[in-house]
Amino acid sequence: MGKILAVVRREFVERVRRKWFWVMALLGPVFFGAIIFLPSLMMRGGGLKDIVVVDGTTKGLGERVTAALDRAVTPDSHRVFHAVRVPAGDRVIDSLTAEVEAKRLEGFLILTDALVDSGRADYQASNVSSFTAIETIERNLTQIVFATRLEREGVNPTLVTRARLPVALGTQKIAGGRATKESAAQSFSLAYFMAIILYTAILIYGINVMSSVLEEKTTRIVEVLVSSLRPFQLMLGKLIGVGAVSIFQFLIWAVSARYLISTRGHLGGGGRGGGDAGQVFQIPHVTLATTAVFVAYFLGGFFLYSAMFAAVGAISSNEQEARQAQQPVSVLLMVSFFAMFAMINDPNSPLAVTLSLIPFSAPIAMPVRWAAGNLPVSEVALSLAILLAAIVAVTWVAARIYRVGILMTGKRPNIKELVRWVRAA
Partner 1 sequence: MAAPVLALDRVTKRFAGHTAVDALSLTVPHGVIYGLLGPNGAGKSTTIRMIMNIYVPDEGTVRLFGEGGTGRDHSPRIGYLPEERGLYPKMRVLDVLVFLAEMKGMDRRAARAKALEWLDRLGLADWRLRKVNELSKGMQQKVQFISTLLHEPDLLVMDEAFSGLDPVNAQVLKETVLDLRGRGKTILLSTHIMEQAEKLCDHVCIIARGRMLVDGGLADVKRTHGGRHLLVNFDGGRGDADRIFADPRLVTKSDSSGQYAELELAPGADAQEILKALVSSGARLSRFELAEPSLNKIFIDLVGPEAVTAAAHPEERARG
**Which spans of this chain sit near partner 1 (rule: CB under 8 A)?**
2-3, 6, 10, 13-14, 18, 215-216, 218-221, 223-230, 407
Phi-psi region of 19 (alpha: psi -120 to 50; beta: other; left: phi over 0): alpha
Q: Residue 220 or 266: which CB sits closer to partner 1?
A: 220
Amino acid at 44: R
Nearest residue to 300 via CA among 235, 382, 369, 243: 243
Q: Is 225 or 332 the residue whose CB approaches partner 1 more closely? A: 225
Report the nearest approach of partner 1 to the CB of residue 189 (Å). Answer: 39
We find the least distance from the C-beta atom of residue 409 to partner 1, in angstroms, to be 9
Provide the terminal-to-terminal Cα distance of the chain, rounded to the nearest Å: 23
Nearest residue (CB) to partner 1, 106 versus 216: 216
- Shorter beta-carbon distance to partner 1: residue 64 or 230: 230
Q: Which is nearer to partner 1, 14 or 113 (CB)?
A: 14
The number of angstroms, rounded, from the C-alpha of 172 to the middle of its chain's C-alpha atoms is: 22
Q: What gap in Å lies between CA 81 and CA 70, rounded to an integer? A: 5
Query: Measured in whole angstroms, how far is the alpha carbon of residue 117 from the centre of its chain?
Result: 43
Nearer to partner 1, 11 or 55 (CB): 11
DSSP secondary structure letters along 114-169: HHHHH---EEEES-TT-HHHHHHHHHHHHHHHHHHHHHHTT--HHHHHHHTPPP--
- Rounded Cα distance between 307 and 49, Å, is 55
By C-beta, is 86 or 225 nearer to partner 1? 225
Nearer to partner 1, 206 or 231 (CB): 231
**Whole-number minimum distance, CB 381 to partner 1, in Å?**
39
Task: Please state the closest distance from residue 4 (CB atom) to partner 1, in A.
Answer: 11
Helix 362-372 to helix 327-345 angle (10° resolution) is 20
Least CB distance to partner 1 at residue 209 (A): 15
Question: Dihedral, CA atoms, 322, 236, 216, 425, nearest 10 degrees?
Answer: -80
Contacts of 61 (CB under 8 A, 6+ apart): 55, 111, 113, 115, 116, 144, 148
* Amino acid type, 34: A
Q: What is the smallest separation between the CB atom of 413 and partner 1, expressed in angstroms?
A: 11
Question: What does the alpha-carbon distance between residue 47 and residue 382 come to, in Å, rounded to a whole number?
Answer: 53
Least CB distance to partner 1 at residue 16 (A)? 13
Distance separating alpha carbons of residues 217 and 222, to the nearest angstrom: 6
Closer to partner 1 by CB, 308 or 404: give it.
404
CB of 201 to partner 1, least distance (A): 23
Minimum distance from residue 102 beta carbon to partner 1 (Å): 56
Give the residue among 399, 394, 405, 400 at the shortest CA–CA distance from 424.
400
